[in-house]
Chains A and B, each alone.
Chain A
Amino acid sequence: MPSIAVNTKDVSQDTNNLGSPYDYINLMKPRVMSLVVFTAFVGYYNAVPVLDSSINPFLALIGIFAIALGAGASGVLNQWYDKDIDVLMDRTKNRPIPSGKIQPSEALSFGIITSILSIIILGLSINWLAASLLAFTIFFYAVVYTMWLKRHTVQNIVIGGAAGAFPPIIGHICATGSIGIEALILFLIIFLWTPPHFWALALINKSDYRVAKIPMLPIVYGDMTTRKNIFIYSLLLMPCVYLPWILNYSGNFYVIVVTLLNIEFIRRSISVLKENKDSEKGLFVYSIFYLSILFASICFDKLISNFMIG
């Protein structure tokens, strides 16, 4: 009778660490992926009418899929590298790697393979300029932000915010084959939106970041400096969101929506500055709503203008 020489302990670890498809989906940070896909789509859709002949819609769908895959891949690489600090923080300790559902080596190979696949798919289906920027975005998030900035500088999320701001430019390149000023404006909006969003989160999870020794602004310079910086970046963001309207890329519908959104954003930033109870949580949640509605209104405005033109 053939015998199978398997060490029980090793097998036990292996069986526990193969991970289910659900764990792999979680490893790709699906919520971040959805925001990346949405902003990339807006960058794409915003640029489409300037084309003489639009891209095949199926190829555009494949392109969006590739961007989603790339965003997921960078999330996987981020979680692989941060496994030592994720296990220390309440917010992240249940992620697939620190909870033992997926082995770090599995996550690393999964992250590398999906990164390469996403770049190849985007390059073959759309163009290689978009694929190059996707490759740079993955590198920027996984290496520049995760491995370098995050643990070494208080400006981590300010500079690292660029990684989250690239998708609309990728979307724009997918549609036009070049980088346009509309895409750079969308980049600027996300870039300036990121600090208030993440510093509000840092104020909420301050104790987590302290345990993990991550130099977030509230840990290094204290709460009040963070609150002031949130307010300053909110003030910087407010005029920038009018740029699409000033440069005639968006119409009156957009300007009405962003004015209303801005009023509430400033009100919540002032509330954070005044140290009102739960104001940080309120700003964090509202900032997600703010960006989603702002980008949706760009699309909707374009839809209205296309309809008017006929």
Chain B
Amino acid sequence: MKSNKNDEYIKAFYENRKSKNFAILGIIIFMVVLFFFITILRMDVTA
């Protein structure tokens, strides 16, 4: 019984950590795109 409970906790822990890592990856990608656009817009390449 105790072993099952332990396994559930470990599974939940790794699932949570995985989704958190994906969230951080998403934020990093968003920031890369954001800073790219800021650079392009500040350069005023469209003018």
Which B residues touch A260, using CB under 8 A?
none
Which B residues touch A56, using CB under 8 A?
41, 44
Of the residues B10, B20, B34, contact of A18 by C-beta under 8 Å:
B20
* Residues of chain A at the chain B interface (Cβ within 8 Å): 4, 6, 8, 11-12, 14-15, 18, 21, 56, 58-59, 62, 117, 121, 124-125
Report the bound CA distance from A12 to B16 in whole Å.
Answer: 11
CB distance from A26 to the nearest CB of B (A): 15
Q: Is B16 touching A8 in the complex (CB atoms < 8 A)? A: no
Q: Is A124 touching B42 in the complex (CB atoms < 8 A)? A: yes
Report the bound CA distance from A15 to B38 in whole Å.
Answer: 37
Report the bound CA distance from A8 to B13 in whole Å.
Answer: 10
Known: A11-B12, A18-B16. 4 other contacts (CB 8 A): A8-B9, A11-B9, A14-B16, A62-B41
Q: Is B9 touching A15 in the complex (CB atoms < 8 A)? A: yes
In the complex, which of the residues B9, B31, B37 has the most CB atoms of chain A within 10 Å of its own CB atom? B9
Which B residues touch A121, using CB under 8 A?
34, 38
Of the residues B10, B23, B37, contact of A4 by C-beta under 8 Å:
B10
In the complex, which of the residues A15, A21, A62 has the most CB atoms of chain B within 10 Å of its own CB atom? A15
Q: Is A15 touching B16 in the complex (CB atoms < 8 A)? A: yes
Count A/B pairs, Cβ under 8 Å. 43
Report the bound CA distance from A18 to B18 in whole Å.
Answer: 11
Q: Which residue of B lies closest to A57 (CB)?
A: B41
Q: Which residue of B lies closest to A114 (CB)?
A: B27
Of the residues B13, B20, B41, contact of A59 by C-beta under 8 Å:
B41
User: What are the 6 A-B residue pairs with the smallest beta carbon separation, nearest first?
Assistant: A18-B16, A11-B9, A15-B12, A125-B38, A11-B13, A15-B13
Which B residues touch A15, using CB under 8 A?
9, 12-13, 16
Chain A proximity mask over B1-25: 1 for CB below 8 Å, otherwise 0: 0000110011011001100100100
Given contacts A14-B13, A15-B9, A125-B42, contact A21 B23 (CB under 8 A): yes
Majority SS at the chain A contact face: helix
Q: Is A124 touching B9 in the complex (CB atoms < 8 A)? A: no
Q: Is B10 touching A11 in the complex (CB atoms < 8 A)? A: yes
Which A residues touch B42, using CB under 8 A?
59, 124-125
CB distance from A244 to the nearest CB of B (A): 31
Which B residues touch A59, using CB under 8 A?
38, 41-42
Chain A proximity mask over B31-47: 1 for CB below 8 Å, otherwise 0: 10011011001101000
Report the bound CA distance from A12 to B42 in whole Å.
Answer: 48
Q: Is A124 touching B35 in the complex (CB atoms < 8 A)? A: yes
Which A residues touch B44, using CB under 8 A?
56
Report the bound CA distance from A125 to B34 in whole Å.
Answer: 10
Of the residues A8, A18, A62, contact of B38 by C-beta under 8 Å:
A62
CB distance from A137 to the nearest CB of B (A): 21
Which A residues touch B20, using CB under 8 A?
18
Which B residues touch A14, using CB under 8 A?
13, 16
CB distance from A271 to the nearest CB of B (A): 47
Of the residues B5, B10, B16, B38, contact of A6 by C-beta under 8 Å:
B10
Report the bound CA distance from A12 to B20 in whole Å.
Answer: 16
